[in-house]
A and B are shown apart, each in its own frame.
Chain A
Amino acid sequence: MIPEIGQLSLIVALCLAVAQGVFPLVGAQMGKPAWVAVAIPAAAGHAVFIAISFAALAWSFLDNDFSVWYVAMNSNTELPIMYRFAAVWGGHEGSLLLWVLLLALWALAVAGFSRGIPVLLRARILGVMGLISTGFIMFVLFTSNPFLRLFPAAANGNDLNPLLQDPAMAFHPPLLYTGYVGFSVAFAFAVAAMLSGSIDRQWARWARPWTTSAWMFLTAGIVLGSWWAYYELGWGGWWFWDPVENASFMPWLLGTALIHSLAVTEKRGLFKSVTLLLAIGAFSLSLLGTFLVRSGVLVSVHAFASDPTRGLFILVYLAVVIGGALSLYAWRAPGLDREVGFKPFSRETFMLLNNILLAAAAGLILLGTLYPLVLDAMNLGKISVGPPYFETVFIIPMLPLILMIGIGMHTVWRSASATAVLRRLRAAILVTVLAGVLIPVFIWGWNSLLTLVGFVAGTWLIVSSLFDPVRRMMGTGPRITRGMAGMQMAHLGLGLCVLGITATTSFNIETDQRIALGESVVVGDYTIEFESTQMVTGPNYQAIRADMAVSKAGHPVTVLHPEKRIYNVQTSPMTEAAIDSRLYRDLFIAMGDDLGDGSWSFRIQYKPLISFLWLGSFVMTLGGLVAITDRRYRSAARSTDSAPEQAARANAG
């Protein structure tokens, strides 16, 4: 009964999504206020019914209703209750339902928190989101229905993939999806502006907090995924350039560019067409990520072969959404940009270069991700593109970008003097060179030129981000708004990430060891003794746990307990790495295979500064949060009757 309620609610939500999509958009074009007024109630109803539908699926999981096929495939009576809830988005069907739920919630937020936005603009934004949702719900209902019954009901379920049975993995998809879907708001802003034919600085100011919010969720989601890979996959790597990661990283890069481009559009009324294109691009890549990778349609033979209709549906959907927006762009974008000059050395130039470099990085990653597919489609053979390609094409645009950020932050709009900026930053440059070169060489010794460049770049970001706040504290700097503080924090966080990445990749010690019981090995400054093993019984797994005593120069540091688990239902062995995490280093031990005669293989890693990566990402995300609390967004939300509304009225009238 409950699954049927979910199914029916989804159908009701589909009808409301159609209403939310059609009436406001048509009404806004034709000048029918009554139709425009449908937007908010429709968005609210849509959200309510999607929520009921999602709750019904969650209930089926919590209730162990194995007569529902999707539940039987992804859950088990032995599965702990928290993971039974997380299992709702453990497979293709449920993760799509989560996507639709988040879309509805974003639309609800737009309806609720944008009272200052002109009625027509808001109606169009909600309308576009309604149309996006319509296609998605149809996809769920017609090709990926999570409420299908299994007859006869299964006695017990297939269990959730053990890889996903982890707290980080439980929260990773919702965060990531909230980011993906959040870019639909920026996309809807762009399409709404193109429909009305007018885009101005107010529009950019309204769009900014929404874009930054989505970016924050995406950042947090990506980092959580990376962190999960780091300790759950058991190899100690944190980024693999696989299609799933690339799919989340590409919208992040374009979203970051969009944030900066919106800033220029707001402050200077420039880069309008670039901003529109980035808004379309960021959401398009999010869609690509959701469909082509997450759902496994193009990479996994099973999802693909079992239902070719899915692939066709997705392609048509992408063609309509992205193709429609890009056609609108080809029609409306010409004539938006005016010829306002800015000098070659100005903040505008730095922002432009920033956008170009970020978009280039995203484009090259997209190329590497799609290239094997394209080659195969053209019958040119099957290849795969690996990390060496991605690392190269990523570092080439990123290094100059990082060096430029520090200067760009301290450059004014329109026209600046390069010598004046450099003179002002003299002290910062000096500190950077000294700290960035000497400290790493003192701690770790000389490694390579690229390592040195990495340390200098990271230090430069940190020093230049702290430059204004420090001067302010000394009483000589300009007043710092929330927006500026957020920007400085985000760049500071990026600097911490760069330091973490550089130190980890350059000075990582990684060793695979055969260790017998009672023996010890030396890794870096640490001595690790394999003391004992014991059997452990978890709620739905059996495990062997090792006790590894870590000491440094004779002093005990900690005892680590890596585990090797066998889950009862899906019987695949899983490695639970044990990590001793300090600010300046991680010590990572993963248990390999039983080699007989009481010895085991272990993978032991010493990772300097890897916590800077997580810390930096956290600071970056926090920077976004600080930026969106800037006072001017609140005052902007209150201002009414702006130029776009007048233009929209004129257009509609």
Chain B
Amino acid sequence: MSLQDVDRSILANRGPGGVKAEEYLQRASVRLRHWLSRYGLLAAFLVFWQAASSSGWVNPAVFPPIDAILSALWRGFFGGALLDDIAISLQRSGLAFVAAVVVAIPLGLFMGQVRPIEQALDPILQLFRQTSALALYPVFILLLGLGEASKVFVIFWATLFPLLLNTISGVKEVDSKLIEMARVYGASRPTVFRCVVLPGAIPSIFVGLRLSATTALLLLIASEMIGANKGVGFQVMNAQYNFQIPLMFAAIFILAGLGLIANYALVFAQRRLCRWSDVSI
């Protein structure tokens, strides 16, 4: 008798009707408890904010109540005022992120396998990585002007390194015993790369992708605060200058939302690609 048979016999023995409702109720309460343990604190925080602001514990001019922020968000979306900003921001960070992926992953896969090249390039990579991209932004502006190019480039620069370094270490940390096993079966270098090195490096590459996505949004805001007239980061600054505090918070919430969406999208992709390993959020 297999486990499935046991299950089936339990199901068969169960009485009809009444038990079902009880079971649903029980399941709902389990789900509610699960939801509360995960999001309870966040909900409490938002409720506290709303209460503190509307009752005047904090200055509502600085911390407007949540409903005011939500209505600013609503107007921004459906009046279309914020949509343009979101579009241009996504375009900037998306372009830079894609460029970083296209450059860093192939370069990292190559560098991780060829030791002399990795050793020769490592010091300069470390130097570049440790130099804050924000500090270099004025240099990029001098070189590329105050337009789109310098903005995209500074984001590209900052996202390149986490991805490159994680790809390299992912390749280097692939178990050499697995590579040897593949060699015993006569695997050629390309086969070893395709069947052992690349799949083995993917979890580490995803760590790099997630770091880079966070960095991309961070640099996006910074670059849009200097010399931009559009974009979510620009809206944060602009709303503050014009004292449209609910709009400012609306823009900040959008940024947080973009960050969350990017992270969840990457986690989802990683789960699809790496079903064999446990992926945590």
Chains A and B are bound partners: no
B positions within 8 Å CB-CB of A: none
A positions within 8 Å CB-CB of B: none
